[in-house]
Structure 1
Amino acid sequence: MNVATLSQGLDTIWLVLTAAMILLMEGGFALLEAGFVRQKNAVSIIMKVFADITFGALVYFAIGFALMHGKDLGGWIGTTGFFMRGNLEHISLNVSMDTFWLFQSAFVIAVISIVSGAVAERINFSAYLLYAIAMTGIIYPIAGHWIWGGGWLASLGMIDFAGSAVIHGLGGFAALAAAIFIGPRIGKFTPDGQANIVPPSNLPLASVGAFILWFGWFGFNSGSTLSATNSSIGHIAVTTMLSAAAGGAVSILFTMLRYKKADPPMVINGALAGLVGITAGCAFVTDAAAILIGVICGIVMILVSELLEGLQIDDPVGAFAVHGVSGSIGTLALGLFATKDLTAATGQGYYGLFYGGGWQLLGIQFVGLLAIAIWGFVLTWLALKLINRFVRVRVSRDEELVGLDVGIHGVPAYSQAHDFLDINELKQNDR
């Protein structure tokens, strides 16, 4: 076996393994969101995650991959590779195209799962399926092409190593549009605009979901090297860990100061905010910068969560505050903290303001972020508007009150009735 063959084999194993880690994050999303919502809507969360994986993978295979990574047309869209057929020779990789598709498909599934949480407890499942198809087939792939497919933002020099903008910024602003479009849950806000607390059903479950997401993030960021022999893998893993830890730690301290007690949902989301924030620059910033990014993301996430409630925008799991806001911070932070040595090692021409790189990269990052945010928000709004013409986007009042598990899917998450029957049967047998 020669060196080239060995290298290709190692890279293939690395991408398949990290793709599996990213796909495991769907289990994290499922547990996190199911723990944050009420018991009567836990099954609906699980069903949406299954829809993300199944429909997302199939649609991305048929349409999305081509629009994202196909041969470029004017810097805006890919035009080849539908059903993984046709001319994809412009993609130069050390692994097969199937392997690359598998890794990329895990990312697209994560994007739609971000939106899922923002519309929890009130979206019609049929409408959600249609939106999932729109997101994975059109909205995300076109935006992804601009940065990762050789499009116009890539030509400008925008940097987004693992997706603070492409994945989290896009998903977060799409989630904001969806939350505004569908409206708050019944009873979330009083007539005078005050927010009622809707207690999470299972915080231990949500915390386990967060830990699974944290684990999968090492595949998310480190796997984006696309190579098992890339010397930056260790540094990427360290910056990922430090930013997440800083986001969680500052959330503990900040909520203790602000609320006089450590707030578990905010702490969970604080760690996730740190993970989102470091995703763009994990390969290009120092360890100290990673900690600072996590701290900023953790604090701003809490403040934005409060702001949304003040604006009567109901986001049950904090999707926008965690993904949209922290993704924006992480994208812009590159324009400040990207070091010359780390960016030069990957062929990037620009580096951060604080390292003598001037304002150019920060300006490029801002333009790219603005484009991604507007695209995600507007296209989601238009997609939901169109879907609503054919399928009711929001469930009926009765379905929402009884819960989507029974109202839409016909089965509760926790069947107390079944337990009662078992107890009665035992009593009869004792007689």
Structure 2
Amino acid sequence: MDVTNDWYLVAASLSFLVPAGLVLIGAAGLDPDRAWAAALAGLAAIGLAGMGYWAVGFALQFGGVGLFYSDPGLMGLVWEWSALPANWGSGWGMAGLSGWFLGGEGMTPAAFALFLAHLPWAATAALLPVLALRGRAPAVAALVLALSTGAFLYPLAGNWVQGGGWLAALGRNLGIGHGMVDFGGAGSVFLVAAGVTCAALLVWLPRQSPRALADPNLPTVHLPMLAVVGALLLPVGVLGWSWSNPIQAGIIGELGPLRGSVNSLLFVISGSLIPVLYTWFVTGESDPLMAARGIAAGAIAGLGAGPFITPTAALLVGLLAGGSVPFVTFAVNRLLRLNDMAGIVSMTTIPALLGLISVGFFADGSVGAGWQNTGVGSYLGVTWQGVTGLVAASGFVADFPGQLQAQVIGGVALLVWGFVMASLICVPVAALAHGIEMATAANHTEEQGFVESRSTIGGVDQSNGAVDERVLSPTSPVHPQWVQQEQRTLRE
């Protein structure tokens, strides 16, 4: 692996356009006050996720990567934990245990390149739930969730796939395809974030009031220019995101980068078509926010499929991913009434699953020979056959349903992981926040009652500062000067 090339620095820098674009698209569906709060919380989430990933996240994700990839630059990262005994086979890794705080002998140029490549992934996974929660959950609770996602939930999921863990080893250990193939983090980033977001939205209510199912009105677009700018940033960011990983760049071959880049653009282009046509058909005019969300959905699906499928298949899957957005938006906001005005669930869940599953059907074997140390040299008896699904290119053998099984297992596992772990975090945090709120309200009520009980002392009415003349009768023991002093004290 040659990490002296400046390309890795450029690609990692461009990758940060992905979270930036998603922030703009998410904020476009919020009212101006919530958009301001969401943008500020998004910046805080990126900062917390970055610190968490630097401290523990990188070690959890790549602490044992040297056991699975024979690159000399990764030989210091060889400590991987597994809950399964050794007689189950090698490669059932579940968490890395070296590289804490980016320190130790294992931190070579290759290791730093890995950190730079995946820091935007951690930031994005932490950012998306925060965008959906601002305005309905306490700020501290949202930031706790962001820190947990960037430091623990995403890195562990990333270890299972990109770090050589148990999902990546399904092919070596069980003979299920090449293991779960997740080229650009559609599963480890966006499915995990979708699961976290769903759990958080279910915990922090209220839901919006019911609306007629036949109501054709779309979600309000408060800031359409934000959606347009965010959609324009995504294609550039996705190209950098896809090719900043030095492990993948070293084994993808000559065809992979060029076909993968073309596929990424086709995913983005086709993702916008159905939302534009659908909104025009339903309301009489195209909706910029729905089109931008369709572009994001296409980009996310493309990160799952990468260069493994043909451009024609990429165009088809992009159409399906973008076309799912208005229907999932309707289901989430109208049927379930979860009020996901940032559109996180609709942009991530179905598109990520479609991108991953498309590998099981449309991967043609031209790219990915030896992917995840499976089928090095030859696969299914064919020399240099790569990741293959149902539709194999000429000269290659179909690997069906093996590869599809690996994709389904991985997608379901990552979605459930995000949902369950986020529920375990959100429920106690929400209960604690509710308890503090109730205690504060009770204390405020007691203070208000105490003030009201003193408001009539000496005949003084605190509501308007008037003095009851009946109390200040000539026979009253209360002197007017004392009443004025008490009134001044109460006002202070």
The TM-score range, normalised by the shorter chain, is 0.7 to 0.9
CA drift of 1:148 comes to: 1.2
Where do 1:38-187 residues align within 5 Å? 38-70=31-63, 71-74=79-82, 75-86=93-104, 88=106, 95-156=109-170, 157-184=179-206
- Aligned equivalent of 1:217, options 214, 229, 238: 238
Partner of 1:281, secondary structure, is helix
CA drift of 1:193 comes to: 8.7
Larger helix share, 1 or 2: 1
CA drift of 1:31 comes to: 2.3
1:322 aligns with 2:347: yes
TM-superposition CA deviations, 1:352-399 (whole Å, max 9, x none):
112222100000110111110110011111111122244459999xxx
Report the residue type matching 1:386 in the other structure: P
- Note the residue ranges of structure 2 that are not aligned, 5 or more in a row: 64-78, 83-92, 171-178, 376-386, 393-397, 439-492
Report the residue type matching 2:391 in the other structure: F
1:287 aligns with 2:311: yes
- Tell me the residue number matched to 1:204: 225
CA drift of 1:123 comes to: 2.2
- Tell me the residue number matched to 1:190: 210
Give the 3 Å change call, closer, same or farther, for CA 395–40 of structure 1 in structure 2: farther
CA drift of 1:98 comes to: 2.1
Give the 3 Å change call, closer, same or farther, for CA 30–273 of structure 1 in structure 2: closer
CA drift of 1:133 comes to: 1.3
Conserved in 2, the CA contact under 8 Å of 1:72 and 1:150?
no
Give the 3 Å change call, closer, same or farther, for CA 215–191 of structure 1 in structure 2: closer
Take 2:154 and 2:435, find their aligned partners in 1: how far apart are those partners? 20
Conserved in 1, the CA contact under 8 Å of 2:23 and 2:131?
no
CA drift of 1:335 comes to: 0.5
Take 1:158 and 1:395, find their aligned partners in 2: how far apart are those partners? 44
TM-superposition CA deviations, 1:196-242 (whole Å, max 9, x none):
86523211122112211232111112323654996322221110000
Which is worse superposed, 258-267 or 73-82? 258-267
- Tell me the residue number matched to 2:428: 386
Take 2:329 and 2:226, find their aligned partners in 1: how far apart are those partners? 21
1:256 aligns with 2:256: no
Task: Calculate percent identity across the aligned residue pairs.
Answer: 25
Give the 3 Å change call, closer, same or farther, for CA 393–161 of structure 1 in structure 2: farther
- Note the residue ranges of structure 1 that are not aligned, 5 or more in a row: 397-431
Take 1:343 and 1:393, find their aligned partners in 2: how far apart are those partners? 53
Matched residues, number = 383
Take 1:208 and 1:296, find their aligned partners in 2: how far apart are those partners? 23
Take 1:67 and 1:139, find their aligned partners in 2: how far apart are those partners? 10
For normalisation by structure 1, the TM-score amounts to 0.82
Give the 3 Å change call, closer, same or farther, for CA 160–191 of structure 1 in structure 2: closer
Take 1:155 and 1:395, find their aligned partners in 2: how far apart are those partners? 47
CA drift of 1:29 comes to: 2.9
CA drift of 1:194 comes to: 9.1
- Tell me the residue number matched to 2:388: 351
Conserved in 2, the CA contact under 8 Å of 1:122 and 1:394?
no
Take 1:328 and 1:155, find their aligned partners in 2: how far apart are those partners? 20
Report the residue type matching 2:363 in the other structure: A
For normalisation by structure 2, the TM-score amounts to 0.72
Take 1:179 and 1:322, find their aligned partners in 2: how far apart are those partners? 15
Take 1:224 and 1:303, find their aligned partners in 2: how far apart are those partners? 34
TM-superposition CA deviations, 1:296-351 (whole Å, max 9, x none):
11112221111112121211121111111110111111111111121327465441
Conserved in 2, the CA contact under 8 Å of 1:37 and 1:121?
no
Where do 1:300-319 residues align within 5 Å? 300-309=324-333, 310-319=335-344
TM-superposition CA deviations, 1:246-269 (whole Å, max 9, x none):
111222223333444322221111
Q: Point out which structure has higher relative CO (alpha carbons under 8 A, 6+ apart).
A: 1
Which is worse superposed, 22-31 or 326-335? 22-31
Give the 3 Å change call, closer, same or farther, for CA 101–256 of structure 1 in structure 2: same
Computing the radius of gyration from Cα coordinates, the structure with the larger value is 2
